[in-house]
Each structure stands twice: as C-alpha cells, then as structure tokens.
Structure 1
Amino acid sequence: MINVEEVVGETFDYVICGGGTAGLTLAARLTENPSTSVLVLEAGLPHINDPKILVPCQFGVTFGDPKYDWFFPTLPQKYSKDKEYFWSRGKGLGGSSIMNFYAWIRPPAGDIDAFEKLGNPGWNWEDYAKYANRSETFHEPSESQKSLYPHTFEPSYHGFSGPIQTTIPHHVHTVDELFQATMLNKGAKAVKDPFGGDTTGSWIASANLDPRTWTRSYATTAYYLPNKDRPNFKVLTEALVAKVLFADAPADAELTATGVEFIHEGKTLVVHASKEVILSTGAIKSPQILELSGIGTKEVLDKIGVAQKVELPVGENVQEHTFLGTSFELNPNIHHETYDLMRGPAFAAEQLKLHTELKGMHRLGITSFAYIPLSLANPSESPSLIASVESRVEEAKKSGNLPPGLAEQWDIQLETLKDDTLPDLEIVAFPGFFTTVSTPEPGKSYVSILFVLNHPFSRGSIHAKSSDPLDQPAIDPNYFENDFDLEMLVQHVKFIKSMLDTEPFKSGVIRELDPGPECTTDEEIREYIYATHVSSWHTIGSCSMLPRAKGGVVDPKLKVYGTTNLRVVDLSIVPLHIAAHTQATAYVIGEKGVVSFSGLNSLSLIDTSAADIIKGEA
C-alpha cells in the first residue's frame, strides 16, 4: 500500500475504483503484465491480519460496525409495511468478501446462459465454469470428515490452481444427515456435485476456507497479499471515489475518462488514468458514482444538480435476494454439536484456543443446501401460482409501461418456473438458532431452516440523492411490488413446515419455535415474512449488462455505453438474478473482466495469462 502523496496528480494506466472482491481480482490479473501500472482506490481500511475477518464461525460479528460495514439504509418499503432495512456491505480492502458467510456456491447453468440470451455474447455457462475454475484451488475433504459423512464431488467441476482456497468444511454432520435425508424423502434428488451447473436437488456446499490454516480465503489474502510487492500494483486505502473525470468532447461524441476525483482525509484530490478507469465499487456505489459523474437519466441528474453527459438508465433493474428463517428445537436424545454452544463465553473462548491448533468449531461452515422447483414444493398449487404470475406479466406487457428489456427478462423467469428441472426455492440448514422472534434456551440445540427468494419479479432502484459523494444513495429494492415474490416465500414456509411430517425430520426435532405451530394460514405466514425478512446481501442489476436499447448500462465487454474507456466490473452488471449466493460470481466477473480489455471475445484465452491478454491489446 502507498501514501496519498504517491498518487495525487500522478498517472496510472488503469485506475480501479474499489478494492473489493472483483476489484482486487482484476488488479492482480492486470498487473501480471509488468509494464502495466494499476492503482486501486479503496474507501475503507486495509484490515490486514484482522481475526474478525480471518477466523471463521463468527457469523455477523462485523455487521453494523462502521469500521467494516457500510450499513446502507433503504427507503421505507411501500409493499413491506413501510419498513426500512439495512444492507450490510464490506467496507475495506476485500469488500464484502471480508464479511460474508463464506458459502462458495455457483449458480445453475441456465441462469448464466440467460445472460447470453439477453444479448451478451460470450456470457454463458461454459465460459463461466472456466473462469470459476480459474479462481479457485479446491481441497478435498479430509479422511476424518469423509468417515463422518460420505462426501461426493467431481474433480472436473473444480479448479486446483487458483488463488481462492475452497473446501468442504468441517460441519455438524448430524444436522446435515437430518436435513439431507429429509430432502430426499420429500422428493429432491441427491446432487453428487453442484458445481457443474446442475444445482436442482439437495447437496453439501463448499466454503472459501483454507484448510491448511482454517482461515477465510478472500480477495485480500488471495489476490492482493501474494502480489502486493509488484512495483506496478498500487493500493491506496481510505480513498473514497467521488466521480470520474472526462476529457472535453463535442456533444455527440463518446466520452474518454481521464481520471477520478477522490476524497482522502477530508481533501478532494485527483489521480489520472492513461488507459482505463474501472468502477468496481459494487451494486450500491457504482451507480452512485456514475450519476455523480454525469452518467444517468436526466430526471435523476437534474434532481441532484449534476449536468448530464450520457443518458443511461443507471441504477435501475435492481434485483435483491431477501431471506428469513424458521427454527426448530432438536431432539435432545440425539447428540448435536451445533453453533448454539458458541453462546457460552467459556466454550467460545476455548474454541478460539483450539483454532490456533487447527481444531475446534471455528473450522465449521454452512453446508446443507437444497434448491428445488416450485412443482416439488407444492405440486397441487404450482400450476395456478405460475398461471397467476404469467397473467400479471402479460397484463404489464399490454400496458406499454414496462422499462425496455424487462418483458424479456420476465419471460426467461417464467420459463424457469415452468421447467421442473430448474430450481425456484432455496432452502438452507443452519446448525443453530438463527431466527429473531423467539429466544433460544441454554443447553438446547436447534436447527434453523433458512430460505431465500432467488428470482424476484420485482425491480428496484439505487440512485444518488444529492451531489455530495459522502451522502449515501437512495436504495429502493421495491420488495414485494410484485406479489408473486411474497407468495414464493409463503411457499417456502409451507414446504418447511411440511418437513415436520417427513422422517427423519419428524422425529429429529421436537418443537417448532419460529414462526410457531400456531402460524398456519397464508395470511399469518405473510405477516411473519413482513416482520422478519431481511437482505441477503446479493444485490445485482444496477448497471446492467444489456443491449443499450434494452436498458443496458454496459456492453458485453463491460464498457459503459457512451464512453471509450470507462468500465464497470462488479456484480452490478449482472442483468438477471441467479439462484446462488453471489461471491463466487463476483470473482468470475473480475477474472473475466480482464479479457474485456484485450478487445477479444474468445474465451479460449482462459489458458493464456492475463499478461498475454493485455499485451495482445497493445
């Protein structure tokens, strides 16, 4: 890392705004070419060697702490009881990879192929898988793990030489056995390895943990620290990007970015870029920076007093996963070592000591997942439910009031709903108490069945609300604007409650705590959802990669329309949501983003070093 004096007024080939998951990935790959200079500007602190980040099994310990968390507030949600929500996002080197729950999950192949269907050549599952493999080194589970639980995996679905270390972590195998067997008895198939593009069924997930040290493997440890001594790789922290600067140009000409304005210790400073400026500040900050730079809709820019340079639907098409949970008390006649033990201060202290010996509960992860079609969750009602949302979509199309490209996105979502081989519901077994209404009792063990809305039909927005870069943007996820989204969560709850009638869950739990056995009607379940659902921290779409005529902000090479050398490389470019947790995809975007600079689309370049790709540009 460098001092601000080494940056101000200087010129770098590439200035990357944001040292998060995708940003550090991109910077590391670009600097493989020693003749290419890269500067990364990160608003947060370095957080190097911070045990709150490195030591696993501390879920949520950094949430709400301004040292680590942006803690963005949303606007009151009109369709969710006017509630305001807080969206935690990592503030610091590594971005949200410093604070996620380290679930390492890839989406189903169809969700990625949808990107290409929407007008993005080269963005398909085959190429996604190549970049995903390039990002990871997969470690097989240990023999002791396999003796407790018979893990299955397909080596060809994984990478074995990438920067991110992944493995099937230690876990509460008794809870996994309970959940997995119940899912099979409910009709879900057993998936041998979900990392090959087929995630429909029940399976055990990997985690981005390094089993050699049992610490978090994330953007900083994987992409920055091994490369920090490269003379062409510079990082400045506590540097908040305010806006992109452009050369003067005629009214109808494309803009050329010349650098960025940033704030450091209260001073507004400038750094220059000779080749490219890249925004990699995430789905919340990237649209704000574009708008502060004069790129966006005239309506928004006029409100904040910024002169428009390029008309684009920045900050629209926002899609967010929302989640909540149910909780059950486990049968005390069966021994479970769940996360509930960590609520005891003495036990927790002992586990930290054991971690220094590479033992104990701090090696655990969240492992049991099931992704199932609506037809499996509710075979009797699913046809009418799908017909209902399809009718609403057709009505909206006829109104003529849809944003460009939205009808096409909805059509793909409807195709997924109708296909019994594709997943609609996500269900996760968390081995401990993880709901918010009831209170866990000392000495008891629980399982929380969490669930996530993966393919929302509602669309939200994220916009700058003033010209002050220190003023957080206005976030409106528009939760449940399309009632089908709420209905899908109702179906999750009903399916989970039905597990109580299925072995081994039926005899493995003795009591439902949240929402409770008295919550039975659809309306009561809806009220529980309103009261307890929260963000899954998986926002996408605010700078969508789509054809410009279909509401796009960036093209398939991630270049912002109307500019010659400004790109966005982060999750904001994802045009249609995926049935997966998003961090593995963020790394893929960073890895693949390098290819966009070469001016080439052939992803056979995956076997070529990033340095060679950049050389090919010259």
Structure 2
Amino acid sequence: MASNLSEVAEKTFDYVVIGAGTAGLVIAARLAEDPAVSVAVLEAGGANLIDPKIIWGGQFGATFQDPKYDWGFTTVPQAHSNNRQWMWNRGKGLGGSSAMNFYAWIKPPAADVNAFEELGNPGWNWESYKKYTTRSEHFTPPTEEQLKDFPFTFDPALHGHSGPLSVAIPRTSFATDKLFLGALEANGAKLIRDPYGGDITGRFIGSSHVDPANAFTRSYTATAFFGPNQIKPNFKVLLNATAGPLMFKEEKDQGEVVATGVQFFYQGRPYVVRARKEVVISAGTINSPKILELSGIGQPALLQKIGVTVKVDLPGVGENVQDHVLGGVPMELKPSVPVQTFDGFRNPVFAKHQDHLQVIGRENRHQFGISSFGYVPLTLADPEVAKSFHKRVAKWVEEAKKSGKLPPGLSEQYDIQLRHLLDDSIPDIEIVGFPGFFQFLNPPEPKANHLTLLSILQHPWSRGSIHAKSQDPMEDPAIDPHAFEVPFDLELMVEHIKFSRKLARTEPLKAGIEREVDPGPNVKTDEQIAEYLRTVCGTCFHAIGSVSMLPREKNGCVDSQLKVYGTKNVRVADLSIVPLHFAAHSVATAFGIGEKMADILKGVV
C-alpha cells in the first residue's frame, strides 16, 4: 500500500520526511497518529516486505552488496588499514538498516548517553533515552524453556511493553553461550541482572528485535511502523524516490532560510513535494550530510567546489564521523561440542531444510540470533597494559589540546572520552560470542562448527568525514572514516584480540576449542596482531556524528531540538546527530531518536 507518484508529486504536506528507515518511519507514523496532520515520506529503495532475506534470521549479510537491499557504499582507501577500501553496507528500502542489520537490541551505559547532554544538549540524557527507546518496544520475557538453559534475569520496569516493535531473546546456541559466558565469568566479568538499565559492563544474554509470536521473524520499522499505518489517508510513502536538494523561500525569516519542499527523482525524472511546516531529513549518517550539502548547507569552500550556492555556512556538516570497528577471532569447535551454529547454512541441503522448517513454523536455525555479549574495561582484560595505555592517552589528549589544532568541540569530546576510559564502570572492549564462522582470512573446515569472538571498538578516538562529491543526488558521497588514524584505536583492538585469546585459554571455553582459525598460531606479537587487524577490520555499521548535535560554535549542525542551524524549519533525526559514540549496537538508539523527534514536532518535549 505504498503511495503512487501522483499522490505525492507537486502536493503539499504538513511534514516531508526524507528516508523511510529506522528513524524516519517512526517519525512519520507518530505524526500521522493525528488525522489532521499530513505526512509524506520519500524512500530511495523499494518495499521488500515479507522478503525471506530480510525477515528470516540466520542469514547475516545475505542482503549485503545486493542493490535491491543495500546502498553498497565504499570508503576511500584507508591509509592506516593497508589502503583498503572498506565496504559500508546500509539498508535501502522500507526499514532502512533495521531491515539488514544483525538485529541486536542493546542499549548503552547511562554515562555514554548523559555525555550528549554534557556536550550542550539539554534533555538528551539517560532518563530521556530510556523513555523514548522503551516507547517503541513490545518486550516478550524469556520462556521457561529459555530460563532452563540460562539464568536470564530481567527487570520489567526497564523494558517497553506496549510499543509496536517486538523485542525478545531469540533462540540461541546455548552450548556456545555457556562456553563463552563461562570464560568471561572466570575472567572476572560480572553477570548483569538486566543490561537495559544503564549498566552493561559485564556479561549477559541480549535481546533482538524479533517477534517470537511469528516464528522469531525480524521485527523492524517496516513491520512496526509502516504496516499498521499504510492505509491512513494522511500517511504517504513514495518508494524509489531519491531525494535531491531542499527548496527554500527566496527571502530569509529573521536571518534563517525557510524550506518549502524537497526535489526528488523518480524513474530518472525530477519532481517536487512541498512542506507546509517542516522538512525532516532521516537519510542516515551517510546520506543526511550529503542532502544538506546539495541544499547549500555546509562548508562554503566545499559547496563552491561542487557548484552549489551557499545558503547556510555550517562547517560541521559531514565532520566528526565516528564508527565502531569490527574484527575478531574465529575458533573451530571440537566435534564433541553439542552446538547448533549458523555454520550449517553453508550446506545448501541443510539451508533448504531450514527454509522448509521456517515456512511450516517449526524450530530451526533461522530463529536463532546473536545473544552472548561481554562488555569489559581494559583493566579487566589486562591491568598492567591498562595503566600504561591510560597514561599515554592522557598525555596525548593534553598535548592535542595545547596544540590548538583540534577542530572546535573535539577538545570537550576528548575530555569525556578520557574520563570514561579511566572509569572501570564504563566498558572499553566489546566481545560478542557469534555462534558460527565469521569470515576474515582463512576459510573454515566445511563440516566444522565455530564460535567467532567478534571484537568491536566502542569509543574511537579517530574522526572521519562524509561529503558530497558533486551536485548529482545519485552519486555516493566520499566516505573517509580515517580508520586507525589515531593509533590508540588500533592498540585497543590489539588488546581485544589478546583478550579473546585469553578467553579461549580459559575453561570452560578452552575444552571446547579445536583450533584458532584466524589470525592463527603464527601471529604472536602485538605488531603481528596489528597487521592482521589492518588487513581484516571493517565497519560494524554503527557510524554516527556527521550532522552532530552540538553548539554551533563547537562545529555543531543541529541544536537540541534537532533543528539545523541557520534554518527555520529543517530538522535532522537519525544516528548522524549523535555527537559522541557510545558502547552499544546502534539500532535501539535510532528508534529512540525517531520517537523523540516526533514528540519535538508535536510540541510535547
């Protein structure tokens, strides 16, 4: 029930939302709850509804590099990662990246969220975060069967129970969970009673955005916010419509530009949709800054270079990009370990049988998810290394601040990062127990089962950029995360790998491991591990910051109401507005941003 071109082109709506992704559909659907309010959404991708590649689990990465589902972005060569170009996969179509992620539903430490407010954004704190992320949720507690397998505990007050998005613990490979979480316990990581209350430092079983009432299929913004609203006459979603520049009135209002609508392209032809009140850009960390720049909002020198007239001088657009970096250690498990992993999907016969079981509603591997998480401080991984690391980072931060070369606003961010680095209640390291082989260098044994210890950098010191390369809305922007440019990021990733190996030498995990596949026994020294990481690391798909919510003089792009500086009625609401990275997977945060944006527009915040 998506809209036709004739229902949107040349029409006027109260609100125009660019992007039917994780945040965009939340905003549009919440606004459309008022029948007197009209909303149009422009989405560059297709519907892709009831598509097994999306709604069935266990196929992690199945949609990657397929233009039907994936933008297929690529970074510029990364100078500190052997000049490799990293793939930055992002969802294209209804649901955005919530349709192609690994559906881990994780929330950050309260201190990481409170940092948003400390950086100059009143009301962006843990209590607000909890309110808006739980609003989307419909949490299903673990079953008695699940409780038998693992002592999962939870606090109902920390979860949402009436939202449209189903959240639950997926079916899991409890044998690998026990091996992994047992090794974390033996190394001092505490069991978290409920990781959704602002404390995630320890070990826990996490939830996913899946629907246990519907055979553990993916629940995402398309099922939760598009499906229930698609027949409303005041809710129009136009698919395959790529947004171009915003349109503005010729005259400014008290020095601010006023948006009147958005130009978009449909089947190669340009059209216009008009906005009576506001334009909300929810195109994601990669496309949102590009749309602003195509509209004349950004760094004047860059805009002039690509031939765009400057409307608003806003140097922070496309800057302050931060991303979680992913690496890891795949371990081959002993044949005697009674596990159910995702490895079987490499066998076409097995995969076909699992498809059949999913169709008829029987338990199968498509219903499994990623559930074992460890978030720990560096002091737990290696206390002696932590002492030296902390001192060197503190000295570097002090010297960087004295140099006068830091961009506006970065000094304050580094102060918070350093404080959090020295706080053992805030994790520096994330290790995920992935029940299967996650490809890095060497191929797996065809019939073997694996546990991959995935390492994810949480609080990067490096800062990147994303900028338009031309006036062409169809051309991807230049993405440069500056991966490992600040060497402490790579150093910390080396400690991730060493800690993973330490876990593998610890019972009960030790007894279950046949061999380490990557990087392998010949990789021993820190420099050898670093070279391995430069060769294999990539994005964890959690980029933030390209349209940062900061004071304007601190290179900010939007204020605490998510209004773009220098504009009267342009907002940005997606992960691009997050000013400082946090320790968690990012989808829950994107939902919360969408929910809060809707309340801001309704005037109830």
Common topology (TM > 0.5): yes
Match of 1:343 in 2: 346
Superposed counterparts of 1:494-573, under 5 Å:
494-573=498-577
Match of 2:227 in 1: 225
What code does the residue aligned with 2:330 have?
A: S
Match of 1:136 in 2: 137
What code does the residue aligned with 2:579 have?
A: P
Distance 2:33 2:340 in 1: 45
| Cα offsets for 1:64-114 (capped at 9, x unmatched) | 001110011111112222111110000111111110011111111111000
Superposed counterparts of 1:572-587, under 5 Å:
572-587=576-591
- Aligned residue among 446, 460, 463 for 2:464: 460
1:314 aligns with 2:307: no
Question: How far has the Cα of 1:252 moved from its partner?
Answer: 7.2
3-state SS of the aligned residue for 1:519?
Answer: coil
What code does the residue aligned with 1:87 have?
A: W
Distance 2:4 2:257 in 1: 30
Match of 1:9 in 2: 10
Question: How far has the Cα of 1:332 moved from its partner?
Answer: 1.9
TM-score by length of 2: 0.98
Question: How far has the Cα of 1:485 moved from its partner?
Answer: 0.4
3-state SS of the aligned residue for 2:384?
Answer: coil
Match of 1:93 in 2: 94
Superposed counterparts of 1:211-360, under 5 Å:
211-213=212-214, 214-250=216-252, 253-312=255-314, 313-356=316-359, 357-360=361-364
Asked whether the 8 Å contact 2:183–2:504 carries over to 1, the reply is no
Superposed counterparts of 1:336-485, under 5 Å:
336-356=339-359, 357-485=361-489
What code does the residue aligned with 1:437 have?
A: L
Distance 1:74 1:340 in 2: 29
Distance 1:436 1:547 in 2: 41
3-state SS of the aligned residue for 2:278?
Answer: strand
Question: How far has the Cα of 1:503 moved from its partner?
Answer: 1.0
**Cα RMSD, aligned residues only:** 1.1
3-state SS of the aligned residue for 1:198?
Answer: coil
Identity %: 54
Match of 1:168 in 2: 169
Match of 1:194 in 2: 195
Question: How far has the Cα of 1:442 moved from its partner?
Answer: 2.6
Question: How far has the Cα of 1:148 moved from its partner?
Answer: 2.2
TM-score by length of 1: 0.96
Question: How far has the Cα of 1:250 moved from its partner?
Answer: 4.8
Which consecutive unaligned segments of at least 5 residues does structure 2 have? Answer: none
3-state SS of the aligned residue for 1:274?
Answer: strand
3-state SS of the aligned residue for 1:395?
Answer: helix
3-state SS of the aligned residue for 1:196?
Answer: coil
Question: How far has the Cα of 1:337 moved from its partner?
Answer: 1.6
Match of 1:74 in 2: 75
Match of 1:604 in 2: none
Match of 2:208 in 1: 207
3-state SS of the aligned residue for 2:196?
Answer: helix
Asked whether the 8 Å contact 1:435–1:448 carries over to 2, the reply is no
3-state SS of the aligned residue for 1:222?
Answer: helix
Distance 1:6 1:352 in 2: 38
What code does the residue aligned with 1:174 have?
A: A
Distance 1:466 1:579 in 2: 34
Asked whether the 8 Å contact 2:9–2:273 carries over to 1, the reply is yes
Question: How far has the Cα of 1:167 moved from its partner?
Answer: 0.5
Asked whether the 8 Å contact 1:460–1:478 carries over to 2, the reply is yes
Asked whether the 8 Å contact 2:78–2:85 carries over to 1, the reply is yes
Distance 1:250 1:32 in 2: 32
Distance 2:602 2:63 in 1: 38
3-state SS of the aligned residue for 1:212?
Answer: helix
Question: How far has the Cα of 1:548 moved from its partner?
Answer: 0.7
Asked whether the 8 Å contact 2:444–2:517 carries over to 1, the reply is no
3-state SS of the aligned residue for 2:336?
Answer: coil
What code does the residue aligned with 2:276 have?
A: S
Match of 2:61 in 1: 60
More displaced 10-residue stretch of structure 1: 45-54 or 577-586: 45-54
| Cα offsets for 1:449-490 (capped at 9, x unmatched) | 001011000000000011111111000000011000000100
